[in-house]
Structure 1
Amino acid sequence: MTSSAEYAMPLDMLDDFLAFTLAGKKPELARQGACANGVRWSWLDDGILLLAPSAVQEASAPALRSVLVSAGVHGDETAPIELLNRLARDIADGTARLNCRLLIVLGNIDAMRDACRHLDDDLNRLFCGRHTQVPQSREAPRAIALERAAQAFFDGAPNTPGARWHIDMHTAIRASAFEQFALLPVTGAPVSRAMFEWLGKARISAVLLHTTRGNTYSQFTAQACGALACTLELGKVRPFGQNDLTRFAGADEAVRHLLAGTNDAVNSTANAALPRAFTVVDQITKQSDAFELLVAPDVANFTPFARGTLLARDGAYCYTVRHDEERIVFPNARVKPGLRAGLLVIDTTAQTLAELV
């Protein structure tokens, strides 16, 4: 029989999981228990919280969807962190329904405390084992912890289509022609119609399709865990408390419907519109400190450039637009040498939507 101490809900933790985590707290009496509404919780590590339906529903765990929702892989991307914090509270008090296994992950906690993107290295470039290349980085242990937590979580999920999901929520550094967009990792499998339809319900305007494997969190969960994974970009970087979360109501609502198992209940207007699709055709890589990115410092994501436009140079290296139109995404000349300083994409909407499976 479970003791009453084990099932005492830690109100300070679940009512404000973000504040609890940033304060460096740990559950005092037990690391697992149940809320008044029957939702079971397990505190697994700093910023990592497992939630599941009541014991009766959990008896059929193999039939349950398993969803990992993460935010704060970059510590200064606060809007998704606040959305996820509110979601944890609403599930705990019964305001939001939970009919699946849920792993909530707050990513780079030390960077959140310092209100910065990262301490030593971009955490979202250290997955798929790349953390082994920077063992002295303060981000490396966190990448290892997040990989292990994801693998353990998805090890308890079936391999049936649509049973494993990962929604990794971010915000962009700069303005964008599409304020809210998504990135899908490459797995070798056809692009998922279920994911595209869910993104449409989340009112995501555009989807960027990677063509080479990267070292992002969503690449890891897609590749190593078999999850339908995406990275969401939900606006611009702002300090905690300065976000208008109503701007991201579409994504928030879609996540909640995914967790409740009521995906089809999302408003019909969002259901009708699939996002535009853009496919990566090249990458600008910073090779040395002599690198020059020849675009305006405040150029927006998805800004188009015509064939023949010189976008970057670095000694003998240069990047010139080769297609009739290419759009630049994530331009950033301040990255370390060897890292991506921009992606170039072309519109492939018609072809992509025709090939969804």
Structure 2
Amino acid sequence: MQDFLQQTLSEQAPRKRQGETAHLRWQWLDHGILLMEPKVKAGQALVLSAGIHGNETGPVEILNQILLPLLKGEKPLQQRLLVVLGNPQALKAGKRYLRYDINRLFGGRWQQIVDSDEAHRVLHLEQAVETFWQACESDETRWHLDLHTAIRGSYHSRFGVLPLNPRPWPTNFLDWLAAAELEALVFHREPGGTFTHFSCEHFAAASCTLELGKALPFGENDLSQFTAAHQALAALLYGDSLPAVQRQPKRYRVVQQITRLSENFKLHMGQETLNFTAFPQGTLLAEDSETRYFVQQAREYVLFPNPDVAPGLRAGLMLVEENEQTQALPL
């Protein structure tokens, strides 16, 4: 098996489910789940995922490009690697998801929905990740990078979203994110149902959701826009030189979540509103029957505004920049 993406989209398991090159051994675990292990001792274990949303195809193509030299035996592998294409059915259909957004269902939240393909898929992903982390040596570093693209345009074209983490973020992890030319880092302060939060909460992995541009169908991506991420991933996997850091990302933290509670929800932002658009204190952001969401700090920035989510799900996040002076409205 040399083309992981095409094999996954075929919905067929490869005839040969495991093999090796001069540098590594690989094993097809399930549709879109591939284990790769170097033949020499590695000090790091990495989960590298993409395609959690089926319409975010650019990172999937980049990931496949990076795997080809490894599977052909042309490049060495520097660490234990679990590769995940999260939602093959949605990828094949070219849709964000078919019924449920699986990036809201990790950490056992899949048990709260009806029995479905998405619930089964999240369970399988959780089990695969758990097995992978449990096989780690005690001194192995654990990272999880989940590659995405955003529905909307953004004032920061590449940014990372980091889950709630009670531990300090490793310096080399933050340095890698800067070398991948992320323009901003967003730090969560509450738990969530994302894939990266699952890895961080349950297995103490340094994890990040990387938003690397605009979501486009297969064949329409300008892969040159992913050059920095490609080079940084090559450095991580092959041992190539890590690109020099051009500038440190801006840092934001989440200060409130806008949740759609009912069919009466109204988001006071148009389709043209970009991620990281700033709103002044007191601005009415959204309302849902008697519930209203206002900007509480001196200035807040919106991330992932989406009025079309199902009731009970996040319709947007509001952020503050870490180095800005903020003052909350009085209660």
TM normalised by structure 2 equals 0.94
Quote the Cα distance in structure 2 between the aligned partners of 1:244 and 1:178.
17
**Are the counterparts in 2 of residues 196 and 275 from structure 1 also a CA contact under 8 Å?**
no
Quote the Cα distance in structure 1 between the aligned partners of 2:135 and 2:117.
29
- Of 51, 54, 79, the match for 2:36: 51
Quote the Cα distance in structure 2 between the aligned partners of 1:217 and 1:102.
16
Quote the Cα distance in structure 2 between the aligned partners of 1:304 and 1:234.
21
1:65 corresponds in structure 2 to: 44
2:60 corresponds in structure 1 to: 81
Please say if 1:273 is aligned against 2:247.
Answer: yes
Please say if 1:135 is aligned against 2:111.
Answer: no
1:8 corresponds in structure 2 to: none
Quote the Cα distance in structure 1 between the aligned partners of 2:23 and 2:209.
31
- Of 158, 175, 179, the match for 1:180: 158
Quote the Cα distance in structure 2 between the aligned partners of 1:298 and 1:81.
26
1:122 corresponds in structure 2 to: 101
1:6 corresponds in structure 2 to: none
* CA pair 287-64 structure 1, distance change in 2 beyond 3 A: same
**Are the counterparts in 1 of residues 7 and 14 from structure 2 also a CA contact under 8 Å?**
no
Aligned-partner SS, 1:246: helix
Quote the Cα distance in structure 2 between the aligned partners of 1:233 and 1:169.
6
Quote the Cα distance in structure 2 between the aligned partners of 1:170 and 1:185.
15
**Are the counterparts in 1 of residues 253 and 320 from structure 2 also a CA contact under 8 Å?**
yes
TM superposition shift of 1:32: 1.4
**Are the counterparts in 1 of residues 23 and 73 from structure 2 also a CA contact under 8 Å?**
no
**Are the counterparts in 2 of residues 97 and 256 from structure 1 also a CA contact under 8 Å?**
no
- Of 7, 21, 24, the match for 2:11: 24
Aligned pairs for 1:124-273 within 5 A: 124-160=103-139, 163-262=141-240, 265-268=241-244, 270=245, 272-273=246-247
Structure 1 segments unaligned to the other structure (5+ residues): 1-12, 352-357
2:289 corresponds in structure 1 to: 315
**Are the counterparts in 1 of residues 51 and 148 from structure 2 also a CA contact under 8 Å?**
yes
Quote the Cα distance in structure 2 between the aligned partners of 1:27 and 1:322.
54
Equivalences, count: 325
TM superposition shift of 1:261: 4.0
Higher helix share: 1
Quote the Cα distance in structure 1 between the aligned partners of 2:162 and 2:96.
22
Aligned-partner SS, 1:139: helix
Please say if 1:329 is aligned against 2:299.
Answer: no
**Are the counterparts in 1 of residues 103 and 193 from structure 2 also a CA contact under 8 Å?**
yes
**Are the counterparts in 2 of residues 75 and 109 from structure 1 also a CA contact under 8 Å?**
yes
- Give % identity: 42
**Are the counterparts in 2 of residues 74 and 122 from structure 1 also a CA contact under 8 Å?**
yes
